[in-house]
Structure 1
Amino acid sequence: MFIPETVKKAVDTYMSLSHKLLPDYQLELFIHGSIGLNTYESNKSDIDCIIVTNPELTLDQKEILNQLHLQFEQQENIPMDCVYIAKADLSSQSPFLNTYFYYNEGTLSYGDYFNFNPVTWWTLHQNYQDPPFPTTTGSQLRDYVFQNMQQYWKPYIERLKREVQLDLSISDEEIKEEIEWIVLGLLRQFYTLKEVGVTSKYDAGIYGLQHLPKQWHPIIQLAIRIRKNELVVVSVETMNQVIDFAEFLISYCEKLKSTD
């Protein structure tokens, strides 16, 4: 895993602040997400990480954690997206079933955490030697991604299709967000099902251009251009093209998985 100098500096700042504000706690920081995939984008990527604590943080530390992240953001310009989990919890019979502190989009929360999954574990094991997290087989990774496609993406596309048919107003910026989210998100899952691995949104777009019929290349190229913050023109008709692409790719992946 290549860690850019700006990220190294930010991590050093965070660790220094944690030692100052939480002197009785030992913290270990494990990076995943785009940095773990070697696709960090300046001014766009977060520092996605899991922070293992010893001992366990309690609700009494909430204000201290708020101060830690506030001071971090005053010193660094890279957002952190992290969760705190106790070292003892990792060795329990039922880890990841508790409630946790997590920091996302500038807010510290306490509750169920959403990012403990085989994609995260796979990425961590690719980048750290014997990390204290569950191992994931290729079969488990593919099963998880396919289940997510069925339970999240399929209903999401069906709902979006109804909204477009009802001609609900949607801004150009919202359309661009949907294009990038849907096209590149589904292509990441297509990559996992085909290659038994994890890739970034941008690289998934390139993979789609290499492995899918040419009729879908324009919408994939559009999603890549949006990802790169290039100027593009979109319309509600573009959303219909995205829906057609999503339905095609979900069906394609269902056939692919049925051959297992």
Structure 2
Amino acid sequence: MTTHPLALSVADAYLGLVDAAVPGFVEALYLVGSAAMGDFRPPLSDVDFVVVSPGRPGAGDTAALAKVHAGLALDREIPALDGIYLTWDDLQAGPLAIPDGPCVKQGRFLSSGCHNRHPLTWSVLGASAVTVRGPLCAGTGLWRGPAYLERWALGRIDERRSSLLETDPGSDEEQPATEVIERTVLGMCRLHYIFSTRVVPSKSDAGLYGLITFQREWHRIIDEALRIRREPKVASLYTTPAERRRDALAFARHVADDAYALGFGRCG
């Protein structure tokens, strides 16, 4: 699978800066997310990454890393970096053992946080990570936990289900941007796919799964989300943003209820 050249160029720019600022700190750099799955779509996609270092950054290293990421974030022509910093022990221990640590969210470096420290990241590392620097993940003793991935997906679905129940689909509040529609619809398809199969798909593949899995009445909003992701310059399938918002919320609720019922059936 070919990695998008823009994602690779951002990774190279990052390595050039970080190697100068904190020599020897980045021993491995892996691309995950859409860049690793052949579904990188500028400007929607961030460059998702995992860095592995010999140890946790000290105060001086933390300041230097924050400066590196702040500098990259100033360049509006490139996608934002989004990811986590781990040690080799962290990589093997898995997300349940290291719930917090250095991370980058939408281009901003945080010295500690839970962002992306979940089974999905480890699953993508094991299945499709692009190695920019360091050994292949298969030889690192990488933690694997498909059962935890399933539980994580159901937990995320349940969280979204609870929030969606509090959202009025007929509200006159400001309509969400197109990327919010794309994330909501394809994100729910993706979580349902993960819960059903214990496999992490790309967002585009998740949308195709949604077209196969869910009734025809939902195909219009799924096709709209896929259009936003893959052909943003093509005209919308909806006449008004309000109608699109109502369908997106209704679909997300349906997917959540379906997955919740499937989970209840497994427990039963």
With normalisation by structure 2, the TM-score equals 0.81
Q: Is the 8 A contact 1:34 1:200 kept in 2?
A: yes
For 1:63, give the aligned amino acid.
A
Other-structure match for 1:136: 145
Q: Is the 8 A contact 2:53 2:87 kept in 1?
A: yes
Structure 2 SS opposite 1:96: coil
CA pair 182-6 structure 1, distance change in 2 beyond 3 A: closer
Structure 2 SS opposite 1:185: helix
Structure 1 gap segments, 5+ residues each: none
Q: Distance in 1 between matches of 2:198 and 2:97?
A: 25
Q: Distance in 1 between matches of 2:149 and 2:93?
A: 22
Q: Is the 8 A contact 1:175 1:239 kept in 2?
A: no
Q: Kindly, what percent of the aligned residue pairs are identical?
A: 22
Other-structure match for 1:169: 173
Structure 2 SS opposite 1:258: helix
What is the Cα deviation at residue 62 of structure 1? 3.0
Give yes or no for the alignment of 1:156 onto 2:163.
yes
What is the Cα deviation at residue 74 of structure 1? 6.5
Q: Is the 8 A contact 2:190 2:201 kept in 1?
A: yes
Q: Distance in 2 between matches of 1:133 and 1:179?
A: 34
Other-structure match for 1:257: 263
Q: Is the 8 A contact 1:50 1:84 kept in 2?
A: yes
CA pair 244-20 structure 1, distance change in 2 beyond 3 A: closer
Structure 2 gap segments, 5+ residues each: 129-136
Give yes or no for the alignment of 1:224 onto 2:226.
yes
Instruction: For 1:1-260, list aligned pairs within 5 A.
Output: 2-72=2-72, 77-90=78-91, 95-98=97-100, 100-127=101-128, 128-137=137-146, 139-150=147-158, 152-161=159-168, 164-165=169-170, 167-171=171-175, 174=176, 176-228=178-230, 229=232, 230-232=234-236, 233-260=239-266
Length, aligned pairs only: 252
What is the Cα deviation at residue 210 of structure 1? 1.9
CA pair 245-55 structure 1, distance change in 2 beyond 3 A: closer
Q: Is the 8 A contact 2:48 2:83 kept in 1?
A: yes
What is the Cα deviation at residue 50 of structure 1? 1.4
Relative contact order (C-alpha < 8 Å, sep 6+): which is higher?
2
CA pair 97-199 structure 1, distance change in 2 beyond 3 A: closer
Q: CA RMSD in A?
A: 2.6
With normalisation by structure 1, the TM-score equals 0.84
CA pair 83-175 structure 1, distance change in 2 beyond 3 A: closer
For 1:101, give the aligned amino acid.
P
